[in-house]
Amino acid sequence: MNNKEALQQLLQYKRGQISPTELGSPRPTGRGRRSRGLSQARVAQELFVSERTYALLERGEMAQPSANFLDNVARVLRMREAERTALYVYALGYEPPFPMDPMAGTHVGPAWLTAVHRVKGQPCYINDVAWNVLACNDDFVRMFPQVPGTTPQLPERNLMRWMLLREDARECHLVDWEANWAIKVAAQLRTAYAAHPNNKDLQMLDEEVNDDPVAGPIYRRHNVAYVHPDGDARPMRHAGVASLGVDGEGVTRCCAQHLPSVLGSVTMCTAQPLQSPGSRFFFLVFAPTSAEPAEAGRHVSATGEPAGVLPGSRAGENA
């Protein structure tokens, strides 16, 4: 493929789609054949560059145009996200690092929402760029710690806030929370906030997590770089006992406040709805484990007492 030719045709096509009158120019009068759309000179004027500078880009002869210049061209020529991506690829050889739309990643199309709700027997969900749950199925809701006598529901719409700040996540649900969960998801939050500094939800998360006495010191570590969890397997408890089909020996309680659950490992398979850069689709594969880990001193049996401790003993009272 000839990138110069593709770039030229894309820019010429986009110039031709915009009437000069849309940019405030008077409607042409008099006789004579008029060319359709914007001229190179008018595009250059909107970009505050010389006509020669813009012409170099359109001919594919500009050496390494800056990302800022390409974004301005995309704005002036009213390019859609896919057209801007093509502009980057033709001019630079790679896709843009961030979407043009500041609201990208905050919503997904109706078809995605329908698809998630139709998945049965396997937990799945979609979150936006700030970890707000946009859609989830019932199997995902049933994974979380459940309080006796209540209807299963998400403990928090924002999963990052729940993973880093909620006590039931730290103490009950996410096994070995700091080593297996907090260090990685805190690094994810740092990366997301750097990429989307104007996102209100990420701004709020940054403040809340930074100020938290437990999660704050972990969040302020910058030696761990972590962007996405695709393929990661982490230990956790799964409260959807009925859907797992495990026998009674595999069912224990994390604490007296929550219903019995199953200890195991969850592998996260992730994908991105391409029309919503920044959002993520998660398909969670859970595998029960046969025994409690040695460090899980807080885990208790189905009676509500710590595993291996007699009911009513001093150790059981302090667990």
In whole angstroms, what is the distance from residue 18 CA to residue 23 CA?
8
Residue 106 has pLDDT above 70, yes or no: yes
Whether residue 25 has pLDDT greater than 70: no
Domain spanning 3-92 has what CATH number? 1.10.260.40
Domain segments of the chain as ranges = 3-92, 110-318
Amino acid in the structure at residue 67: A
The backbone region for 125, taken as left when phi is positive above 0, alpha when psi lies in -120 to 50, beta otherwise, is beta
Per-residue confidence (pLDDT) for residue 29, from 0 to 100 = 54
> Which pLDDT tens digit goes with each residue over 142-152?
999 988 999 99
pLDDT the model gives residue 1: 59
> How distant, in Å, are the alpha carbons of 96, 101, 129, 219, 222 from that of 198?
18, 12, 12, 19, 21
**pLDDT of res. 315:** 36
pLDDT tier, 35 (very low <50, low <70, confident <90, very high otherwise) = low
Q: Write out pLDDT tens, residues 175-186.
A: 999 999 999 999
**Sign of the CA dihedral 61, 66, 70, 72?**
negative
- Yes or no: domain 110-318 corresponds to CATH 3.30.450: yes
Position 297 confidence tier, pLDDT thresholds 50, 70, 90: very low
Greater pLDDT, 101 or 84 = 84
Q: What angle do CA 130, 135, 136 make, to 5 degrees?
A: 115
The token pair at 236 is: 């956790």
Which letter does DSSP use for residue 18 in this model? S
> Strands 261-271, 124-127: parallel, antiparallel or unpaired by DSSP?
unpaired
Q: pLDDT digit string (tens) for 266-278?
A: 999 999 898 888 8
CB 179 within 8 A of CB 229: no
Residue 308 pLDDT > 70, yes or no?
Answer: no
- Per-residue pLDDT for 318 more than 50? no
pLDDT-wise least confident of 10-19, 95-104, 296-305: 296-305
pLDDT tens for 238-258 read: 998 877 777 676 788 898 899
> What per-residue confidence (pLDDT) applies to 305?
43
Which of 248, 258, 242 shows the shortest CA–CA distance to 144?
258
| pLDDT value of position 98 | 78
